[in-house]
Amino acid sequence: MATPIEKGAPMALSWNDLICTPDKEAIDALAESWRWRIGDAFTPLLFTALGDMFYEADEGGIFWLNTGTAEIERVAESVPGFNNLLREEIAEDWLLPPLVEALIEAGKIRADGECYTYVTLPVFAEGEYTVENLNPVPAREHFELTGSVLQQLQDVPDGTNVKIDITH
């Protein structure tokens, strides 16, 4: 059973708890694994602890790539506008501080270059944003796995039963 995220005495999360800093290899893996969804013309701006990316498209605008669902949302017109939004309440929806706090409290601590990835992707009904469904992994592994699986599922109708076999 999933552990609900309870609001208790807040721990002091740092900005680094909420973001991921992938290395060049991981960013290159994201560019390759997610090309089918975001194309080639983008500049990464911010990676979240949950492995999502905010990027500036060469044609303009700031976008959020949700690597758990393959959804893309335009969130701002410019970098300064995006930076302003990061100081507002909407950033709670993007960075999920209560979930990150619960993960840390559960001992699921990320090392440098790691982000959290899903046991079951949120694109599936069983894929929840819970402590039990997330684990720290190297960002490169997260980007490759989520991009590959979600690309294979892009044309599968909602509600279809699928079996996924993942081999290394």
Residue 89 token pair = 């309440």
pLDDT in tens, 128-167: 999 999 999 999 999 999 999 999 887 766 666 656 655 5
pLDDT in tens, 59-112: 999 999 999 999 999 999 999 999 999 999 999 999 999 999 999 999 999 999
Name the phi and psi angles at 146, rounded to 5.
-65, -40
3-state secondary structure of 75: strand
Q: What is the pLDDT of residue 162?
A: 59
Residue 37 buriedness (CB in 10 A; 0-12 / 13-18 / 19+): middle
User: Residue 1 above 50 pLDDT?
Assistant: no
What is the DSSP pairing of strand 53-57 with strand 42-48?
antiparallel
Rg of the chain on CA atoms, in Å: 16
Q: What is the pLDDT of residue 65?
A: 97
Instruction: Decide: 50 and 62 in contact? Cβ < 8 Å.
Output: no
The pTM (predicted TM-score) of the whole model is: 0.85
